[in-house]
Amino acid sequence: MINFKDMPYERPDLDALKQEMQDLTQALRNASNYAEAREVFLKKETSGKHLSTLMNLAMIRHSIDTRDAFYDAENDFWNQAGPELDEYAQAWTEAMLESPFRAEFAAEFGDILFLNAEIDLKSFSPVIIEEMKEENDLATRYNKLLASAQIPFEGGVYTLSQMTSFKTDPDDARRLAAWKAEGQWYKDHQAELDEIYDRMTHLRDAMGRKMGYDGFTQLGYYRMQRNCYTKEDVEQFRAAVRTYLVPIADKVYRQQAKRLGLSYPMNFADNALQFRSGNPRPQGSAEDTLKAGEHFYDALSPETGAFFHLMRDYGLMDVLSTEGKEGGGYCTGLEDYGVPFIFANFNGTAGDVEVVTHEAGHAFAMYTNADRIPTSTIWPGMEACEVHSMSMEFFAEPWAEEFFGPDARKFRYSHLAGALTFIPYGTLVDHFQHVVYEKPEMTPRQRHDTWKELLGVYMPWVRLDDIPFYGDGEGWQRQGHIYGSPFYYIDYCLAQTVSLQFWALIQKDRADAWAHYMAYTRQGGSVTFTELLKNAGLKSPFDPDCLREVCTAADRFLDAYDMTGIE
Ligand SMILES: [Zn+2]
């Protein structure tokens, strides 16, 4: 094994790559028996692994320091190269789909290979390459804009990520000032944020039409590789959220207002403070949080222990918040080495613990499935991936004392409450995007109005007021997924629903819950999301009973929660 910082990177020769992909495609077409076709297929696997490793190395190092000129140029290179290579990847996919040995391939490597290949074909055509490049550039512009934020606050200057902890400060005036300072920054850049999204919306709509769809939505679903549910299923899920979840989430905020001595409905700044004594915070340094993670994974299972030590020993986690670093967090894979990588921004809030539990949940799934062939089945779909991470957070709850010290009981309450209140927000993000792409002609102002209106449906507990940007009901522009990954967000909601199922299982029998978790995770991406769930003995979030049952259990749990001594 090699340390992350020593992993070699060199920009590949794009023309040579294209030639190689063309040669492999031709060889696959020329194969006269399965053994020959299989050999070509495995060669393509190796070359694809290497390509993805290089691309991810460039992407990771760029996001660690967006000011680094070398990786900035490499990031630009991949933004351009990606769509160009897609064309060659598509030729390969077509050859696979037309292969006379398709049945043999499916028997050995799984049907999902072809199911997803068919969807891939529907999500790309060379006629939209130029639009895709521009879309990538716009996404980079958005990320750079947010990463460049320098927010004046209390005499200092802070990045968006560094503002997070002020935005949950227990002092009402200070917290409100932080929200206002951050909101003002967005407001000052709103013209650019509007322009980027407006351009993206029109581009995406045009891509959808060029590919023969009725706008972007269908293309968006294919791009998210939705292979086991439709727009109608998602619509039904959103309806169940409104019916079962919104009332419970509303109750959480009513009780919060009472606890804080404030009147319901509260504004964004007050909704952000869960307890008068402050939100649960990790008790020690970043190193202490990582150490607590080590203890948790060591105790959870031999596999998780070995995994977490590997991540720490080989520099596969970059978690401190430093200047020039891109915001947010993610986990990706370095397939040549069979290891995951975790990127995050520690900021002294409970979010730091989530990096160790949530992102590492993703990483553990990749680590568990790193040897899978084809590599496209290492990870399942995005919604299925979020089950790995969100459920891991619940498995970590017994370690809350080590992560949070005296705040452990507050944490367990707010973790569950937060899971419940997140789903309506995430569903709102999804609903909003459906409207946006149904009506691409809307002006930026009309988009803001749409968000504001839906906010009243999904988050009735929010009082709009004089906080710039947020108080105007325009806060969607801080949600990067809306810009960079359309229709991604519902995945978190579907997964959160499944993770609440895990939460309920853990309450009953922890060992049994872990057995279900491993049964789910060991499958990697070998089948679709709904099949993964079924094989692991779990309910689908599209079954309305699923949401109803977890809501009832969680509501009962929160009602009975012993709040003695918690203020
Ligand atoms: Zn995640």
The three-state secondary structure class of 463 is coil
Beta bridge partners, 462, equal 266
Degrees, nearest 5: CA angle 197-198-200 = 60
CA–centroid distance, 379 to ligand 1, in Å, is 12
Nearest-angstrom CA–CA distance, 489 and 433 = 10
In angstroms, the CA 386 to CA 366 distance is: 12
How many A from CA of 208 to the centre of ligand 1?
27
CA–centroid distance, residue 498 to ligand 1 (Å)? 13
The span from the CA of 95 to the CA of 50, in Å, is 21
Task: Give strand ranges (E) for 321-375.
Answer: 330-334, 339-346
330: helix, strand or coil: strand
Of 141, 140, 280, 213, the C-alpha closest to 440 is 213
pLDDT for position 86: 85
* pTM more than 0.85: yes
The answer to whether residues 215 and 438 touch, using CB atoms and an 8 Å cutoff, is: yes
| pLDDT value of residue 528 | 97
Question: What is the whole-number distance in angstroms between the Cα of residue 66 and the centre of ligand 1?
Answer: 22
CA of 426 to the centre of ligand 1 (A): 13
Ligand 1 geometric centre to CA of 34 (Å) = 38
- Cα gap 58→55, rounded to integer Å: 5
Q: How far is the CA of 359 from the centre of ligand 1 (A)?
A: 6
Distance (Å) from CA 16 to ligand 1 centroid: 35
3-state helix, strand, coil in the chain (%, to 5): 70, 5, 25
Would you state the pLDDT for residue 350? 80
Distance from residue 56's CA to the centre of ligand 1 (Å): 17
Q: How far is the CA of 301 from the centre of ligand 1 (A)?
A: 21
Phi and psi at residue 347, to the nearest 5°: -140, 20
Which pLDDT score, from 0 to 100, does residue 113 have? 93
Q: What is the H or E stretch that residue 289 is in? A: helix 286-300
- In angstroms, what is the span from residue 504 Cα to ligand 1's centroid? 20
Distance 384 CA to ligand 1 centre (A): 10
Distance in Å, CA 118 to ligand 1 centroid: 26
Distance 160 CA to ligand 1 centre (A): 20
pLDDT in tens, 425-452: 999 999 999 999 999 999 999 999 999 9
CA 186 – CA 190 distance, rounded (Å) = 6
Q: How far lies 99's CA from each of 36, 37, 93, 370, 526, in Å? A: 12, 9, 10, 26, 20
Q: How far is the CA of 474 from the centre of ligand 1 (A)?
A: 24
Residue carrying the six token digits 């299923």: 233
* Ligand 1 mean position, distance from CA 383 (Å): 9
| Low-confidence residues in the chain, pLDDT < 50 | none
For the chain, state the CA radius of gyration. 23
Q: For residue 37, how far is its CA from the centre of ligand 1 (angstroms)? A: 36
